[in-house]
Structure 1
Amino acid sequence: MATNTKIGTKEYYRTTATVGYDHKGKQIQKQFYGKTKKEAERKKYAFLKNHEHGIVATNDSVSKAMHNWLWSVIKIKSKASTFERYEINYRCHIKPSEIAYIKATEITSSHIQKFYNTLFKNDTSVATIKQIHRILTYFFNYLLNERTISINPCKNVVLPIDADELIDNEEIFVFSDEDIQKIYTLRNSRVKFIMLFALFSGLRIGEILALTSKDVEDNIVSVTKSVRIVRIFDTETTWHYETVVSKPKTKTSIRTVPLPSSFHPYMLKIHELNKQQQRDFDYEPTDLLFPSLYGTFLNARNVTRSYKRALKSLDIEYRKFHSLRHTYATKLFEAGVDVLTISKLLGHTTTQTTEIYAHVLKTMKTNVVESLNSIFADNNVKIMLNPQKPNKKSRLQVRDNLDIV
């Protein structure tokens, strides 16, 4: 029963609970204060409930507890790219939010739900919200294992849009047959061969830039690694960037992809270009399939810049480099390849992701059926038409030399 007590000039209600015994067998008591009897009793009840389940009391906010978790646990046990992703989401989304100031022991599912709903209303992408959800779930599971909390507040949360509904929100842009023919007309250069390799294999840009000559044998590509530029934290406020080669993040991304026999002449040209480049720039021999002018890994950002210039010089509407991968998948669907095979070639974890292409292909065919009919009648050639996307002017001027430096 809470009794009235006075601390300084203010009156409070106080209640006491026995929380254990010392080495002499005497009771260890803890006092709980509240502005009302009900508040004091509630604090005692919450403490005893947690104490019964072995929960360790803490006054740390979600922000403070998560900061400690990031720098003392995740930074040590995770890849640099993983830590970078976690740190960015924490700093940009979680730390500035309302849940950051709530005690880690007092946060509930309703707090998390409100946080996600706010992100969604502020036009945060569903993919980002899902990523934040995975990070928070991982974090609260850590607190659960540390007996700081008794239940994971992410457990009963519903994401603003279910993952199965993403298919209706995914924007897939592909290159037409006419666009592809234009790409063939590019002069032989590093960027041309990288673009064609993506079209013929469906590999991601990081997977392509990590390839060595040994990874492509008898027109079979072995995908076992990826390369990217990662921010490496020296301290909490200083960092530098490094090129990091790592295994793909999912087991299904480790795969073999056959190249069409028609690509073999381009492989010969790639090797010829590599030999010529090594002689011209006099760097140590390298086994990289697409080395930089220094014989090192190419920077994906530099590749993207050259890719943009190439599209502009060909008068092709800009699409992200990943659209080459989208085009590869869509063309396989057009050819009647089954979804499971395409999923394995792309390295997707589930066929659900792959089915996006079938969905988009069906929608596009329905929208342009009359155009397709006229094309079949005139040329007997099947051309994939593309949804119109607003033109975006490149900030980079077209350069005569499309090679990557």
Structure 2
Amino acid sequence: MGLFRRNKVWWMTFIHQGQQVRRSTGTTDKRLAEAILGKVRVKIVEGRFFDTLEAKDHTFNDMMDRYLKERSITKAPASRRRDEQCLTHLRSAFGSLNLAEVTPKLLAAYKAKRRETAKPATVNKELGLVRHSFNVAIREWEWCRDNPMQRVCMEKVRNERDRWLSSDEEGRLLAHSAPWLQDIIVFALNTGMRRGEILNLQWQAIDLNRQVLVVMRSKNGEKRTVPLNGRLTDLLKRKASKRAAGSFVFASSAETLFDARNLTRSFRLAATKAALSDFRFHDLRHTFATRLAQAGVDLYKVQRLLGHKTAAMTQRYAHHSPESLREGVLILERVHPQISQNYHNEGGAVGECCASA
């Protein structure tokens, strides 16, 4: 292991596992080059030097190209499009850098800059893609050892919506919707299913005899069973009687998968005609949950119907269920009725007795 100079810059050379390695120290100062060489010796002894070399041999673009081919391709179409949209900004900031050069400092600066033009949720999606890509590069490809996103905080997101349809608004929305859109709206209002789950629903996942359907792949990657009420059973029986050869319940005119963007475009037009302000298709899901909570349905049941993995996601609807909460305190009277009854009948005797004791 030693140093040699090339074009005034000091290089280090050494043999490792039978192969000669030459790397620039990046300095014309011999004393600094010797110090760098000393650090390299320590890293070689600890087995960390070639991890660093590997991270320098692959650029951010290399990592993202491989991620798109191997990991993003397994995601739902909407998630793949989101990854590609995120990379539009990420590549311009980090694309030519090698992985060792993508530091927490640079990522924090990127976050601050993007915050000026993008919403916190958008920034988090981009940073989340970087974090997951580095995790894959560490665990599966062994391209690097450290994930710089471990030391970068995500943005605080306050995007909880509390928008749902009143009965009058529902009537106006349906009145301004085409028949095929009416069916989808009614289906969303009575199942709480997401747009993608509805559009990907196939007849084989429906059991009209048992009045249930199975969401084969939800947002969290798990199956869930959704019961059907009478309104939906009638709707599906009507559609089944006119069913063509296609496998999708809500199909295009060609009996193929319905385009989500066309649905969104038609829904927005209907909402505008119905004079519904700030109302999105996903708010039909909020309406489903809100109506259940207002009717006193237990929040655990709401969680299961929505397919939330944790109760925290469902807690946003808790303030809509005062009668359900009232039931929680009224049960105390049924469990311990005698003490309260004695207190009222004896004019506070129980309290006086306790006080004298």
Residue matched to 2:155: 160
Match of 1:128 among 115, 122, 127: 122
RMSD: 3.4
Shift of residue 105, structure 1, vs aligned partner: 1.8
Match of 1:70 among 67, 70, 77: 67
8 Å Cα contact 2:293-2:318 kept in structure 1: yes
Shift of residue 338, structure 1, vs aligned partner: 2.6
Residue matched to 2:190: 200
Match of 2:283, as an amino acid? S
Shift of residue 355, structure 1, vs aligned partner: 1.9
Residue matched to 1:356: 316
* Alignment partners' CA distance in 1, 2:12 and 2:234: 83
How many corresponding residue pairs? 313
* Alignment partners' CA distance in 2, 1:30 and 1:263: 69
* Alignment partners' CA distance in 1, 2:261 and 2:275: 21
Match of 1:144 among 133, 138, 144: 138
Match of 1:32 among 4, 18, 25: 25
Residue matched to 2:337: none
Residue matched to 1:295: 255
Residue matched to 2:297: 337
Rate the CA distance shift 1:44–1:333 in 2: closer, same or farther, 3 A.
farther
* Alignment partners' CA distance in 2, 1:213 and 1:73: 31
The structure richer in helix per residue is 2
Shift of residue 46, structure 1, vs aligned partner: 5.2
8 Å Cα contact 2:25-2:33 kept in structure 1: yes
Shift of residue 113, structure 1, vs aligned partner: 2.3
Alignment of 1:85 with 2:82, yes or no, is: yes
Which 5+ residue runs of structure 2 have no aligned equivalent?
322-357
Shift of residue 304, structure 1, vs aligned partner: 2.5
Rate the CA distance shift 1:67–1:183 in 2: closer, same or farther, 3 A.
closer
8 Å Cα contact 1:56-1:147 kept in structure 2: no
Q: Deviation per CA, 1:218-255, whole angstroms, max 9, x where unpaired?
A: 3322211xxxxxxxxxxxxxxxxxxxxxx334244x21
User: What is the TM-score with the length of structure 2 in the denominator?
Assistant: 0.73
Alignment of 1:212 with 2:208, yes or no, is: no
Match of 1:113, as an amino acid? A
The structure richer in strand per residue is 1
Residue matched to 1:240: none
Residue matched to 2:97: 102
Shift of residue 331, structure 1, vs aligned partner: 1.1
Q: Greater RCO between the two (CA within 8 Å, min separation 6)?
A: 1
8 Å Cα contact 1:311-1:318 kept in structure 2: no
Which 5+ residue runs of structure 1 have no aligned equivalent?
225-246, 276-283, 363-405
Residue matched to 2:334: none
Rate the CA distance shift 1:107–1:19 in 2: closer, same or farther, 3 A.
farther
8 Å Cα contact 1:222-1:256 kept in structure 2: yes
Match of 2:230, as an amino acid? S
Q: Which has the larger radius of gyration?
A: 2
Match of 2:118, as an amino acid? T
**Matching of residues 374-385 of structure 1 within 5 Å:** none
8 Å Cα contact 1:203-1:346 kept in structure 2: yes
